[in-house]
Amino acid sequence: MFKKIKLFLSDVDGVMTDAGMYYTESGDEFKKFNTHDGMGFNLLTKAGVKTGIITTEYTKIVERRAAKLKIDYVYQGRGFGSKLEAAKEICLKEGISLKETAYIGDDINCIELLQEAGIAACPANAVEQVKNIKGIIHLEKKGGEGAVREFIEMLFKQGLIEGNK
Q: CA-based Rg of the chain, rounded to a whole angstrom? A: 15
Strands (E), 24-164: 29-30, 50-55, 73-76, 101-104, 119-122, 137-138
Known binding residue 11? Answer is yes
Dihedral angle sign, alpha carbons of residues 108, 98, 32, 80: negative
Amino acid present at 84: L
b vs e for 116-143, b when ≥16 Cβ sit within 10 Å of the residue's Cβ? bbbbbbbbebbeeebeebeebeebebbb
Q: What are phi and psi of 105, to 5 degrees?
A: -145, 170
73-76/119-122 β-pairing? unpaired
107 is in an annotated binding site: no
Could you tell me which residues are annotated as the binding site for Mg(2+)?
Answer: 11, 106
Binding positions for substrate are 13
- Binding-site residue numbers are 11, 13, 106
